[in-house]
Structure 1
Amino acid sequence: MSFNQEFDDHGVWRRQFALRLKLMSEWLQDHELLEAGVRERLDQLHAQVRNDKIMVAFVAEFSRGKSELINAVFFAGYGRRIMPASAGRTTMCPTELGYDSEVPPCLRLLPIETRLQSKSLLEWRNAPDKWERVDLDVNDPQQLARAIQKVAEVRRVTRSEATALGFWNDELPDDNPVMGSDGMIEVPKWRHALINMAHPLLKQGLVILDTPGLNAIGAEPELTVSLLPQAHAVVFILGADTGVTKSDLAIWRQHIAGLPEGQASRLVVLNKIDTMWDALSTPEQVQLQIAAQRTESADVLGLSPLQVIAVSAQKGLLAKVSRDERLLQASNLMELETALGVDLLGQRRRILGAAVASAMQALRQETGRLVHTRARDLVEQVQELEGLRGKNAGVIKQMRLRIEQEQAEFDASGAKIQAVRSVHLRLLKHLFSLLGHSHLKSRVTELARALKQPGIKLGVRRAYGHTFELLRADLLKADQLASEIQSMLEGSFKGLNAEYGFSLQPPTPPQLQQYLKDLELIEKSHLQYLSLGNALRLAQPEFGERLARALMSRLRVVYDTAVNAVELWNKSAAAQLDAQLRERRRNFSRRIEAVSRIQQAASGLDERIRELQSQQADLNLVDAKLVELTGQLLESPEAAQAEVVEA
């Protein structure tokens, strides 16, 4: 199947999963099993699947046909080009295409002058009034294409302005744009563009990142150290007629080769193979030339030839628009779409499948314990009432007094349970402080200061190393503290279980060590950026400041994720204790009510026992239904995809 078809099926699975999750939440609510910890876990899982984004980044030097490739793969259904793809430089600023239902269809453009201010791109995203907005009519392809043409706009500035904006460096003459006869320099008018439109693929969570050439990439460190490393697939485009040029190799080595294996699918597209369709050569000879170019490009980039796909984006777009199957086959575009579908979606399905399995296992444990508690209470009530058969009113009265005494003793135990909570919260406060924004900022302060210093930064690599050593030590300390809290919970819960007959079991603690891998990836992407080729660029204080802001933005995402994991663990433990307390209080009320009914009517005993036995049967059905519902949600995305295809 093509990438579009694969993605459609992936979207169907996500919608089916969301529906099943909603039905399960309602069922748990109806059966009073939707405790706070369970609700939090379901909400997080629902948000993860609903908001799952798949970012495909297209990277190339100018004039490699990158925008045309995006048109061919994603927007051929409009019957024309949507992204500007004329000869020469087209996309002048990084452009993201995605969908947000809360924002009307529009193009938002961030002025290039914002580079002069001390804010990261992430911070600018939260200041929508600073972006120029152009409304889009997604039902009018001509208006859509005309509006998006704005991403190609430029402005002419003086050399000093170009230097301040990061597009001119006297020490790097080869990277500088051509200066006009009037001494003016052409630079992008916009720093970043966001296109929000309800394209079917974008609505399902696809995000397309269209990047400009080498000079623009290097001038925006946040793009290189944040957006590209977070892309799920990077498509690097070369020209079939040129192969790997010097500037192509510079982009590859500085921005793509260092991306971690397995973190993102990396595909190289040898575009414009139609330039090799020579009427004086046989089809076999043309194919041999293309194969040779693929092999040579793969060798230069250090890849397998299987990772290099030769296509003609222009002919592929034309073939889709004109419905020419022979031309589409000759363009080889479907091979690229298949590779994207297999590699990219396969990776996302595995990640989502693992998240679902983990969440369902925890949910089964938490709700299963609650069902077990209710079943045990019912058995105890039946046994208690069976013991009253043939007893006189005095014995029944004594039983009621004993239950009331047990209830009073249990209510008086609140101080002991509150002590468990207070110790737990005190340790958690320390844990949250280790993962908080203030502590993180203090750890990055020294590095940020080093990056902002003018001149060649000989010690900046050492500053990175020291900063990340501190961050790793903090995470390991936080992980150790989480283990101590878990041990405390296990001891406290064991004592409460023994004293009050609870069935408390601490939820699995967050594995904070897993975020060490995220730190490693962030550090690697930054160290890759400290290559000799960027040394002179790094000498500019404003550039170093942008790099520091990009680092802080990305670290915050990691730490916020860790904090969310700790909060879920805390809520699960607290909710479990609350649920057991609530069930115990309900149990006392039901026991007293049952004895009262028996005191009032001789037939009350048998009637109450039958009611309890009926509740036991209903609870067995609830337990079976719980297994069935979680089993449906545990169905792997791959299996669900097979069901969709068969249907």
Structure 2
Amino acid sequence: MTRSFNQQFDQHGAWRRNFAHRLKWLSRWLDENELLDQSVAERLRELESQMRTSKVMVAFVAEFSRGKSELINAIFFAAYGRRIMPASAGRTTMCPTELGYDTSFLPCLRLLPIETRLEPHSLAHWRDKAEHWTEIPIDVEDAEQLSQTMNKVAEVRRVPLAEARSLGFWSDESPDDNPVPDAEGQVEIPRWRHALLNMPHPLLEQGLVILDTPGLNAIGAEPELTVSLIPQAHAVVFILGADTGVTRSDLAIWREHLITEGDPGETRIVVLNKIDTMWDTLSTPAQIDAQIQRQRKGAAELLGVPLTQVLPVSAQKGLQAKIRRDVPLLQASRLPALESVLGEGLLGKRERMLRLAVDAGISALQAEAARILKVRQRDLSEQALELQGLRGKNVSVIRHMRTRIEQEQAEFEGSNTRILALRSVQGKLLREVYAVLGSTALKADMARLSASLKRPGIKLNVRKVYGATFDALRNNLREVQATTAEIQSMLHATFRQLNAEHGFALQAPAEPDLSGFQEQLSQIENSHIHYLGIGNLLKLAQPDFCDKLVRALASRLRVVNEAAMTEVERWSKGAGAQLDAQLKERRRNFTKRIEAVERIQSAAGNLDERLAELAAQEAGLAELHVRLREFTALLTSNEAPSAAAARSELSAA
């Protein structure tokens, strides 16, 4: 049978933990052998943390009554033997709900009141304001209590039209999308703006995050969902009803809100749910299958996706089959096929991304560690030649040699002016980088965009307005790239001089390539422009909507700018750490040379003994070279060994 998503994610989690364990072990081995400079140590810690804690988000998006919550129950929570997400008749998710696990919080459901929309803050802002959330403890061992607690996300309120309008649930410009008022003129709105379930579920503990989004009316009132949360999901599952096909509201959600910033072919899966409604005793299995195929083709054509991305499923029968352990019913539900596609596509892509990060980090680490070993080897060879020159020499010659070494040491310490100058200029240029990409500059860019969007009239030039803002943001990155090129040129020149004067083996690290961040900016720009199609263009006449849009954009851009600054800072630290490492090696070399002469002077050890020690140390360095290649190969091999095999390799080492 096809492996379930849970099984695939378990295997993915074991692979990540195994990798993190080997990274930590390598870090300890390098540290014990004094091959771990500050920059490399920091990079290793980042890689290990990324392996252990990186999140994988799957967003489930659908109009009401498409069986979205039931599908989440079937894929993730069948082991409870009952529904956890509200999916029974009359109960549905009314607010965006994130399911994940953060050890800094106790298991609970946190609910953000809908009234927070009246304040000028983004969801990202409210996440850190614990006092504004309603927190309900959960017992993960009690399925009944957990299910009852999750029903909170289905709670609604009835409010007058004026309040619904101010909260974004009533639009005079788009009356067809408005909820139906009751006899008293009130309309139903969600009680909560956002929900966060913090739960030590086996998959959530391993970094899975599930985003359950509400229907069109609720999703449209929260631009941050469309332009921030959903695009960051590693996979988006869009659910249709097999009994209804693609409706007008389904199409509106797809076109206006399902914006992915990667390759849509890799990130979007369309689920044709409720195929059990076609199971007709009057039709043959072949006729039923033909009917399902017609619905699949129709959905694929309307949504513009390959047929292979449209998967027929019965979430209800799949959940039922898992609970009853009914294998034939599970196969008939076609749920395993969806789990296979979701797992292989999502987790395979995630593993490739993590591998690329590891390969880049390990490659830099290996180069730096090998460079330190070569410096040590050269220093040992020079010491051996120096000591061999003392054979048959008298005490005065040995004393003179010590004086000469001390003089060399003093001259070396006195020549650090160039190094200090390099660090001073480097620090100044880096401060310029932080000024260009920092929060103050971003706030100014966002203020200009907000002012342009709030000008009176329909914003038919919205593409131009966004274009000007993003051109400025891309120019900021180009300016930073020019600054890093200037620093790189200075590093090359200074390193060449230091190599010539002191026999160092310094090599300037590769300049950071910021073009990827420019591409991210273009993807975010396209997301916003796509979102502001005709359907949402009219909303720009509302100042509150403009504010929400700009706040959501600012939170995304802050992440991009901070990532770019981190990349530049890591590169700068790499150059500084390499210099520090070779300065440390040179100072240690002076100390060792003086100690050797002292021992010969005091007759504490004869010349041959010292030369034998140097030869043994050189052999030890050669062994370290071999071990370094072996240990780094364990992390960069295409096929990661099993956890048991890895433990065996490391314990043997």
TM-score above 0.5, yes or no? yes
Q: Identify the residue that residue 560 of structure 2 maps to in structure 1.
A: 558
- How far residue 394 of structure 1 moved from its aligned partner, in angstroms, is 1.6
> C-alpha separation between the residues in 2 aligned to 1:459 and 1:206?
40
2:230 touches 2:259 (CA, 8 Å); kept in 1? no
Q: What whole-Å deviation, never above 9, does each CA across 1:422-468 have from its counterpart, x for those lacking one?
A: 12212222122211111122222211222345653334332111000
State yes or no: 1:72 paired with 2:53: no
Q: Identify the residue that residue 438 of structure 2 maps to in structure 1.
A: 436
Q: Identify the residue that residue 349 of structure 1 maps to in structure 2.
A: 351
Q: Identify the residue that residue 240 of structure 2 maps to in structure 1.
A: 238
State yes or no: 1:320 paired with 2:322: yes
Q: Identify the residue that residue 113 of structure 1 maps to in structure 2.
A: 115
Q: Identify the residue that residue 624 of structure 1 maps to in structure 2.
A: 626
Q: Identify the residue that residue 635 of structure 2 maps to in structure 1.
A: 633
Q: Pick closer, same or farther for the CA change 1:213–1:262 going to 2, 3 Å.
A: closer
Q: Identify the residue that residue 101 of structure 2 maps to in structure 1.
A: 99
> C-alpha separation between the residues in 2 aligned to 1:408 and 1:619?
28
Letter in 2 for 1:456: I
State yes or no: 1:589 paired with 2:594: no
Which of 519, 526, 532 is residue 530 of structure 1 equivalent to? 532
1:231 touches 1:264 (CA, 8 Å); kept in 2? no
- SS of structure 2 residue aligned to 1:187: strand
Q: Identify the residue that residue 22 of structure 1 maps to in structure 2.
A: 24
2:18 touches 2:643 (CA, 8 Å); kept in 1? no
Q: CA RMSD in A?
A: 1.7
Letter in 1 for 2:114: I
Which of 363, 374, 377 is residue 375 of structure 1 equivalent to? 377
1:63 touches 1:89 (CA, 8 Å); kept in 2? no
Letter in 2 for 1:109: L
Q: Identify the residue that residue 487 of structure 2 maps to in structure 1.
A: 485
> Percent of counterpart pairs with the same letter?
59
- How far residue 88 of structure 1 moved from its aligned partner, in angstroms, is 3.9
Which of 50, 65, 70 is residue 63 of structure 1 equivalent to? 65
Q: Which moved more, 1:344-353 or 1:84-93?
A: 84-93
Letter in 2 for 1:101: T
Q: Identify the residue that residue 576 of structure 1 maps to in structure 2.
A: 578
Letter in 1 for 2:94: M
- SS of structure 1 residue aligned to 2:136: strand
State yes or no: 1:46 paired with 2:80: no
Q: Identify the residue that residue 384 of structure 1 maps to in structure 2.
A: 386
Q: Identify the residue that residue 404 of structure 1 maps to in structure 2.
A: 406
State yes or no: 1:127 paired with 2:148: no
> C-alpha separation between the residues in 2 aligned to 1:634 and 1:409?
43
- How far residue 641 of structure 1 moved from its aligned partner, in angstroms, is 9.3
> C-alpha separation between the residues in 2 aligned to 1:223 and 1:97?
15
State yes or no: 1:256 paired with 2:258: yes
Q: Pick closer, same or farther for the CA change 1:435–1:49 going to 2, 3 Å.
A: same
Letter in 2 for 1:156: R
- SS of structure 1 residue aligned to 2:283: coil
The 5-angstrom pairing of residues 86-235 of structure 1 reads: 86-88=88-90, 90-235=92-237
Q: Pick closer, same or farther for the CA change 1:96–1:242 going to 2, 3 Å.
A: same
Structure 1 unaligned segments of length 5 or more: list them.
Answer: none
> C-alpha separation between the residues in 1 aligned to 2:162 and 2:643?
56
1:447 touches 1:460 (CA, 8 Å); kept in 2? no
> C-alpha separation between the residues in 2 aligned to 1:143 and 1:637?
43
Letter in 1 for 2:422: V
2:239 touches 2:270 (CA, 8 Å); kept in 1? yes
Q: Identify the residue that residue 365 of structure 1 maps to in structure 2.
A: 367
> C-alpha separation between the residues in 2 aligned to 1:264 and 1:638?
24
Q: Identify the residue that residue 650 of structure 2 maps to in structure 1.
A: none
Q: What whole-Å deviation, never above 9, does each CA across 1:242-297 have from its counterpart, x for those lacking one?
A: 11111111111112266542585211000000000001111111111111111111
Letter in 1 for 2:384: V
Q: Identify the residue that residue 649 of structure 2 maps to in structure 1.
A: none
Q: Identify the residue that residue 34 of structure 2 maps to in structure 1.
A: 32
2:230 touches 2:260 (CA, 8 Å); kept in 1? no
> C-alpha separation between the residues in 2 aligned to 1:602 and 1:124?
70
Q: What whole-Å deviation, never above 9, does each CA across 1:299-318 have from its counterpart, x for those lacking one?
A: 11111211100010000000
- SS of structure 2 residue aligned to 1:212: coil
Letter in 2 for 1:427: L
Q: Pick closer, same or farther for the CA change 1:396–1:496 going to 2, 3 Å.
A: same
Q: Which moved more, 1:433-442 or 1:169-178?
A: 433-442
> C-alpha separation between the residues in 1 aligned to 2:639 and 2:128?
34
- How far residue 640 of structure 1 moved from its aligned partner, in angstroms, is 5.7
> C-alpha separation between the residues in 2 aligned to 1:308 and 1:123?
36
> C-alpha separation between the residues in 2 aligned to 1:504 and 1:362?
14
Q: Pick closer, same or farther for the CA change 1:258–1:174 going to 2, 3 Å.
A: farther
Structure 2 unaligned segments of length 5 or more: list them.
Answer: 647-653
- How far residue 488 of structure 1 moved from its aligned partner, in angstroms, is 0.8
- SS of structure 2 residue aligned to 1:181: coil
> C-alpha separation between the residues in 2 aligned to 1:53 and 1:643?
26
- How far residue 117 of structure 1 moved from its aligned partner, in angstroms, is 0.4
Q: Identify the residue that residue 567 of structure 1 maps to in structure 2.
A: 569
State yes or no: 1:290 paired with 2:292: yes
Which of 506, 509, 512 is residue 508 of structure 2 equivalent to? 506
Q: Which moved more, 1:76-85 or 1:609-618?
A: 609-618
Q: Pick closer, same or farther for the CA change 1:50–1:454 going to 2, 3 Å.
A: farther
> C-alpha separation between the residues in 1 aligned to 2:185 and 2:457?
26
1:349 touches 1:638 (CA, 8 Å); kept in 2? no
Q: Pick closer, same or farther for the CA change 1:362–1:98 going to 2, 3 Å.
A: same
How many residues align structurally? 645
State yes or no: 1:419 paired with 2:421: yes
- How far residue 558 of structure 1 moved from its aligned partner, in angstroms, is 0.4
> C-alpha separation between the residues in 1 aligned to 2:427 and 2:298?
61
Q: What whole-Å deviation, never above 9, does each CA across 1:30-87 have from its counterpart, x for those lacking one?
A: 1111211111111111122222111100000000000000000010011100000012
Q: Pick closer, same or farther for the CA change 1:263–1:618 going to 2, 3 Å.
A: farther
> C-alpha separation between the residues in 2 aligned to 1:583 and 1:563?
30
Q: Identify the residue that residue 306 of structure 2 maps to in structure 1.
A: 304
- How far residue 564 of structure 1 moved from its aligned partner, in angstroms, is 0.8
- SS of structure 2 residue aligned to 1:207: strand
> C-alpha separation between the residues in 2 aligned to 1:203 and 1:532?
41
Q: Pick closer, same or farther for the CA change 1:147–1:42 going to 2, 3 Å.
A: same
> C-alpha separation between the residues in 2 aligned to 1:236 and 1:506?
48
- How far residue 604 of structure 1 moved from its aligned partner, in angstroms, is 2.1
> C-alpha separation between the residues in 2 aligned to 1:314 and 1:603?
83
2:13 touches 2:206 (CA, 8 Å); kept in 1? yes
> C-alpha separation between the residues in 1 aligned to 2:213 and 2:645?
37
Q: What whole-Å deviation, never above 9, does each CA across 1:394-427 have from its counterpart, x for those lacking one?
A: 2111111110110111111122221121122122
Q: Pick closer, same or farther for the CA change 1:563–1:165 going to 2, 3 Å.
A: same
2:100 touches 2:197 (CA, 8 Å); kept in 1? yes
State yes or no: 1:266 paired with 2:268: yes
Letter in 2 for 1:336: L
Q: Pick closer, same or farther for the CA change 1:521–1:605 going to 2, 3 Å.
A: same
- SS of structure 2 residue aligned to 1:58: strand
Letter in 2 for 1:472: R
> C-alpha separation between the residues in 2 aligned to 1:272 and 1:116?
38
- How far residue 578 of structure 1 moved from its aligned partner, in angstroms, is 1.0
- SS of structure 2 residue aligned to 1:438: helix
Letter in 2 for 1:382: A
